[in-house]
Amino acid sequence: MADHAPVASYPVGLRLAGRRVVVLGAGQVAQRRLPALLAAGADVLLVSPSATPSVEAMATAGELRWERRRYREGDLDGAWYALILTDDPEANAAASAEAEARRVWAVRSDDADAATAWTPATGRAAGVTVAVLTGQDPRRSAAVRDAVVDGLRDGSLAAPHFRAPAKGVALVGGGPGDPDLITVRGRRLLAEADVVVADRLGPRDLLDELPPHVEVIDAAKIPYGRAMAQEAINAALVEHAKAGKAVVRLKGGDPFVFGRGMEEVQALAEHGIPCTVVPGISSAVSVPGAAGISVTHRGLAQEFTVVSGHVPPGDPRSTVDWAALAQLRGTLVLLMAVENIPAIAAALIAHGRPAGTPVAVVQEGTTAAQRRVDATLETVGETVRAEGIRPPAVIVIGDVVAVGTDAGTA
Ligand SMILES: C[S@@+](CC[C@H](N)C(=O)[O-])C[C@H]1O[C@@H](n2cnc3c(N)ncnc32)[C@H](O)[C@@H]1O
């Protein structure tokens, strides 16, 4: 086919479940194609004398049948579709001839003109399969595919549901604050929402991007101050979901890490309202990370423990065994502990954690206002006071605090 001739092809979606697909050759191209064939449920017969380690692993796992030999006439018997991908042009030509004779659609990695089918550049996002063919310019196909998939993922390409409008509530973990640290699923659901119930923490900047018709309800829970009662939040979620709205409950970090997420799931379940939980990046790990602290480090910390410090040691409401925590040698990550850090540090020292243990306090991590202050267990209470540290902050206790690079993190 001449390069300049417009190339006509007819796109279809093959439903391959349980149907034989023959793949000849097991190099890089096969490695890229096989996962989608397997995901479609195809009965894959692979014929190749050798295979890449990843393809071999698929055979070992029983995902496909591998015959370790070269192509031979008759291999396409019973096939619905064939991928001719060997590095032997003669074998490819012979397999193409067999495919033609048997009326099996076949792609060719070495000669697109000789193929009877072309593989589009494909991707999936927002429940949509995107497949792009641009004639003989695969890089352009991939670029168009990427543009569409990216747009669907981040919500910049609106893809409304006409058959089954989004219903119920999505409980979305928004990450620690940087708007880039929400998941792609969370961002897409946010773009599709009619109502957003948002916390004070999390990616507040994303709310500015919402279209004007979206109702934003502020569920700000300011520590030790004004708070919208959890019951009121639950009631708002129920009310808007019952009105048929697509509701996003946007929470800081991960919904199930000190986020009362399960209480909201339970409240919705009581009213028979479906709820999708979208995990988020918790501040417990990401805020230390953004400040250059790895909560584990080989040979130094083989565990990290995340603890809420919102009630002090000895308080009857506390369920934390501070004496046991003091015996651990790994990393302690404290959330909601700014107010109580003097009492917590004193309890840890009293129960055996060395007073000189390094401590870092990271305020407003991952945001433009991020600030890190270092101390020891003995000095942290006074340092927090003297430096005017305010919530939200994550406090990291342990030897990992002293590990780092001169280059820091970006
Ligand atoms: C109610 S908890 C919610 C935690 C959240 N679900 C998570 O997974 O990150 C709030 C606490 O998380 C911590 N936190 C959340 N975002 C933070 C940030 N950007 N910088 C520092 N600490 C943060 C603080 O300790 C704050 O008091």
State the pLDDT confidence band at 3, using cuts at 50, 70 and 90.
very low
When mean pLDDT is compared across 90-99, 172-181, 192-201, the lowest value belongs to 192-201
- List C-alpha distances in Å: 345 to 18, 364, 372: 62, 21, 18
pLDDT digits (tens, 9 = 90+) for 354-368: 999 999 999 999 999
Q: Which atom from ligand 1 is nearest to the alpha carbon of 221?
A: 1
Q: What is the spatial distance between Cα 67 and Cα 76, in angstroms, rounded to a whole number?
A: 13
Strand pairing of 393-397 and 358-363?
antiparallel
d(CA 9, CA 97): 20
DSSP string, 235-297: HHHHHHHHTT--EEEEESB-TTSSS-HHHHHHHHHHTT--EEEE----HHHHHHHHTT--S-B
Residue whose Cα lies nearest atom 15 of ligand 1: it is 283
* Of 248, 283, 280, 258, nearest in space to 367 by CA: 283
Neighbours of 58 (CB within 10 A): 21
Range 86-107 burial, b when 16+ CB lie within 10 A, else e: beeeebbebbbebbeeeebbbb
Give pLDDT tens digits for 295-309.
999 999 999 999 999
283 lines ligand 1 (CB under 6 A): yes
Ligand 1: distance of its center to the CA of 218 in Å? 17
Give percent of the chain above pLDDT 70: 93
pLDDT in tens, 6-31: 568 898 999 999 999 999 999 999 99
Fold of 20-119: Rossmann fold (3.40.50)
pLDDT at 4: 44
Residue with CA nearest ligand 1 atom 7: 253
Task: Pick the catalytic residue from 88, 146, 154, 221.
Answer: 221
Question: pLDDT tens for residues 38-80?
Answer: 999 999 999 999 999 999 999 999 999 999 999 999 999 999 9
Mean pLDDT computed over every residue of the chain: 91
**Ligand 1: which atom is nearest the Cα of residue 365?**
20
Among the residue ranges 189-203, 318-332, 381-395, the one predicted with the least confidence is 189-203
Does 252 sit in the ligand 1 pocket, CB within 6 Å? yes
Model pLDDT, residue 207: 87
Is the CB of residue 258 below 6 angstroms from any atom belonging to ligand 1?
yes
Measured from the CB, is residue 233 less than 6 Å from ligand 1?
no
- The finding on whether 394 has its CB within 6 A of some atom of ligand 1 is yes
Atom of ligand 1 nearest to the CA of 201: 16
Tell me: pLDDT of 165 over 80: no
Instruction: Name the catalytic one among 178, 199, 245, 254.
Output: 199
**What CATH homologous superfamily does 169-280 map to?**
Tetrapyrrole methylase, N-terminal domain (3.40.1010.10)
Probe residue for ligand 1, chosen from 295, 394, 396 as the CB with the greatest number of ligand atoms within 8 Å? 394
At residue 6, the pLDDT reads 52
* pLDDT at 344 > cutoff 90: yes
Mutate which of 233, 258, 260, 334 to test ligand 1's pocket (most atoms within 8 Å of Cβ)? 258
Q: List pLDDT tens digits, range 27-43.
A: 999 999 999 999 999 99
- Say yes or no to pLDDT of 216 above 60: yes
**DSSP 3-state of 58:** helix
Residue 59 φ then ψ, to 5°? -70, -45
Of these ranges, 134-143, 154-163, 181-190, 283-292, the one predicted with the greatest mean pLDDT is: 283-292
Q: Where are the domains of the chain?
A: 20-119, 169-280, 284-402
Is 167 considered catalytic here? no
CA distance 165 to 161: 5
CB of residue 199 inside a 6 A radius of ligand 1:
no
For residue 146, the CA-to-ligand 1 centroid distance in Å is 33
C-alpha distances in Å from residue 23, one per residue of 17, 61, 233, 312? 16, 17, 54, 64
**Shared fold status for 169-280 and 284-402:** no
Average pLDDT over residues 375-401: 97
| pLDDT tens-place string over residues 228-264 | 578 888 988 999 999 999 999 999 999 999 999 999 9
Phi, psi of 197 (to 5 degrees): -105, 110
Q: How many angstroms does the Cα of residue 59 sit away from the middle of ligand 1?
A: 45
Distance, CA 299 to ligand 1 centroid (Å)? Answer: 28
For the Cβ of 287 lying below 6 angstroms from any atom of ligand 1, the answer is yes
Per-state percent for the chain, helix, strand, coil, to nearest 5: 30, 20, 50
At 26, give phi and psi (nearest 5°). Answer: -140, 45
The Å distance, Cα 151 to ligand 1 centre, comes to 29
- Tokens 């970090």 locate to 253
Q: How far is the CA of 371 from the centre of ligand 1 (A)?
A: 14
Tokens of 7: 């190339």
pLDDT of residue 82: 98
Ligand 1 centre and the CA of 369: distance in Å? 14
What's the CATH number of domain 284-402, 1.20.1250.20, 3.40.50.1370, 1.20.58.1910, 3.30.950.10? Answer: 3.30.950.10
